[in-house]
Amino acid sequence: MPSDPREGRIVVVGASLAGLRAAEALREEGFTGPLTVVGEEHRPPYDRPPLSKQVLLGTAAPDTTGLPMRRDPDAQWRLGVRATGLDPLAKRVLLADGESLPYDRLLIATGTRARPWPHPQQAALDGVFTLRTSEDAARLAERLAAGPRRVLVIGAGFTGSEIASACRERGIEVTVAERGPGPLVGALGGTLAKLAAAMQRAHGVDLRCAVTVSALRGRDGRFVGADFSDGSRVEADLCVVALGAIRNIEWLADAGLAAGPHGIACDAGCRAVDMYGIVTDDIFVAGDIARFPHPLFDYQMLSLEHWGNAVAQAEVAAHNMVSPGPLRRPHLTVPVFWSSQFGFNIKSVGVPAFSDQVVIAQGSLAERRLVAVYGYRGRITAAVTVNMAKWLEHYQGLIESAATFPPGPGAADGQPLVTEFPIPSDVPDARGLSHGPTVALTGHLPVRRLTVVRSAG
Amino acid sequence: MRIVVDLTRCQAYAQCVFLAPQVFELHGEEALLYRPDVPEEQLDRVREAVVACPVRAILVGEAVDAGAE
């Protein structure tokens, strides 16, 4: 590696939000060497949140969500080619077209892909979709515009719930099947899942919880309906499989990194950890693929699928890639995410899954606007707002300062707490959900969940 | 010209909705939806919205050029 970290050659693998923001930040931080960004999709970096909202509602075309640049990163873009391997000793990234790219420092930002329906033949039926890429959104939006009689959504996580919301807004009948006790339960726990369920039913969703889909049925190669584990059936024209995401780590099977189903372990400075728990100094990770320790949550390793985390972590990774050791920064951002569905704005700060109790601190379930505050062993660890987004920052401050749970009367707006006593937050075991949680607490040790992953195909 | 709104920061002050209603709209009380591709004739309004946003959540810029090799 060159003596000045602002020189040398940097390769970024992954050309989505984290990859783009890292590339920009590298230049802002004074990196002057050659920069290559590798992306599997043919499209330049685009924004994904609108795909399950504006695009499905028909108010934005799927090919218009290209991310604006803050500055031109002056990069060589290698789009439409997949990275197939990494040789950390020779310091080369191997590409599907046979080429290999040398690097002095590497940033891995390969993110996630949609988890497919597990039965390939059923998944191949015409009318069965997943939603992750702009191509997925384009095809699904076209079929929604054609006016299906009913759509089946499998999985009531954020993506599944937003799809159901868009369908209802377009006047399309929807059935939602969720293996867990309610929508969004993995992310928000049992109390808010009840509100989410009421919200869906009030908007005419045929919501079925604590049930699994046992088979997708087809006729002449077209999806026509599904069988449920309770013996019931549904007839539908389209099926959207919203079972959460799989991290794109298979290409690293032989790289010797601590890579597993929750991503690639890294230190607080985004430096990847190898399979022996030793930190590397030339391989960095950012975005959905990263699994990092967080002091606010007992230093457990966290995996996040949040837009804001991709941006913040990419900036820290880029800074650290071009800075000498003592000038490096930790990535300590408090997790924040949002979702809009059924006319509600839901925002979360902290990690609601890291909780044992919850209290409605402002508003109420009946008013359909509230702040739920989550606590773990007597301190505040998360807050969720429904149509009360302005309060988020206040609670973020309480989380960052490890304030006492439950928050005292007057902690927020001078009003007494709405619920007199905290109640269990009812965070379920993630294994019982149809979809994956968007925040995963993955334990303390960087190598604890190590698996060497080999693709089945 | 493309925009992206950092909805992590957005607090539904709705200044953008007042200034450029053809680009930004509130969905319900406070969920913001917007057109990621800004039509030419809306550029000035969107630039005003960028400045007016109290939490500076709107980013305007060119999309990445695919052909940039």
State the total domains in chain A.
3
Q: What are the pLDDT digits (tens) for B29-52?
A: 999 999 999 999 999 999 999 999
Question: Mean pLDDT for chain B?
Answer: 92
Q: Of A221, A243, A265, which one is at a domain's C-terminal end?
A: A243
Instruction: Give the pLDDT band (50/70/90) at residue A408.
Output: confident
In a domain, residue A346? The reply is: no
Mean pLDDT of A147-151: 97
Which tops the pLDDT comparison, B1 or A140? Answer: A140
In a domain, residue A273? The reply is: yes
Asked if residue A79 and residue A136 are part of one domain, the reply reads no
Instruction: Give the pLDDT band (50/70/90) at residue A413.
Output: low
Q: What are the pLDDT digits (tens) for A220-278?
A: 999 999 999 999 999 999 999 999 999 999 999 999 999 999 999 999 999 999 988 89
Question: Mean pLDDT for chain A?
Answer: 92
To the nearest whole angstrom, how far is the Cα of A7 from the nearest Cα of chain B? Answer: 20
The structure's pTM equals 0.94
Across the interface, of B27, B32, B61, the residue whose CB is closest to A68 is B61
CATH number at residue A304: 3.50.50.60
Could you give the CA distance from residue A6 to residue A3 in angstroms, rounded to a whole number? Answer: 9
In a domain, residue A332? The reply is: no
Q: What are the pLDDT digits (tens) for B8-24?
A: 999 999 999 999 999 99
Are A127 and A47 a contacting pair, CB within 8 Å? no
Could you give the CA distance from residue A48 to residue A62 in angstroms, rounded to a whole number? Answer: 10
Could you give the CA distance from residue B32 to residue B13 in angstroms, rounded to a whole number? Answer: 10
Q: Among the listed ranges A90-104, A150-164, A394-408, which one has the minimum average pLDDT value?
A: A394-408
In this model, does residue A437 exceed pLDDT 90?
no
For the beta carbon of residue A445, count every other beta carbon within 10 angstroms: 14
Q: Please tell me whether the interface predicted TM-score (ipTM) of this complex is above 0.90.
A: yes
pLDDT at B69: 44
pLDDT at A380: 96
Q: Among the listed ranges A118-127, A380-389, A420-429, B58-67, which one has the minimum average pLDDT value?
A: A420-429
Contacts of B4 in chain A (CB under 8 A): 47, 67-68
Asked if residue A238 and residue A272 are part of one domain, the reply reads no
Asked if residue A156 and residue A219 are part of one domain, the reply reads yes
Could you give the CA distance from residue A365 to residue A454 in angstroms, rounded to a whole number? Answer: 46
DSSP A411-450: SSSSSPPSSSS-EE--PPPGGGSSS--SEEE--S-TTTT-
Asked if residue A303 and residue A228 are part of one domain, the reply reads no
In a domain, residue A4? The reply is: no
Q: Under an 8 A CB cutoff, do B63 and A69 touch?
A: yes
pLDDT at B56: 96
pLDDT at A422: 80
Contacts of A22 in chain B (CB under 8 A): none
In this model, does residue A447 exceed pLDDT 70?
no
Asked if residue A229 and residue A154 are part of one domain, the reply reads yes
Q: Under an 8 A CB cutoff, do A70 and B61 touch?
A: yes
Q: Under DSSP, is residue A176 helix (H, G, I), strand (E, B) or coil?
A: strand
The answer to whether residue A311 neighbours chain B at the CB level (below 8 Å) is yes
In a domain, residue A370? The reply is: yes
* Strand bridging mode A259-260 / A245-247: unpaired
Q: Find the closest chain A residue to B38 by CA distance.
A: A64
Asked if residue A226 and residue A143 are part of one domain, the reply reads yes
Structural domain for A368, as ranges: 354-426
Could you give the CA distance from residue A382 to residue A184 in angstroms, rounded to a whole number? Answer: 15
Domains in chain B: ranges and CATH: 3-68 (3.30.70.20)
In a domain, residue A103? The reply is: yes
Across the interface, of B2, B10, B31, the residue whose CB is closest to A66 is B2
Mean pLDDT of A324-332: 94
Could you give the CA distance from residue A322 to residue A330 in angstroms, rounded to a whole number? Answer: 14
DSSP assigned state of A274: B
The answer to whether residue A392 neighbours chain B at the CB level (below 8 Å) is yes
Q: Of A243, A259, A293, which one is at a domain's C-terminal end?
A: A243
Percentage of residues in chain A having pLDDT higher than 70: 94
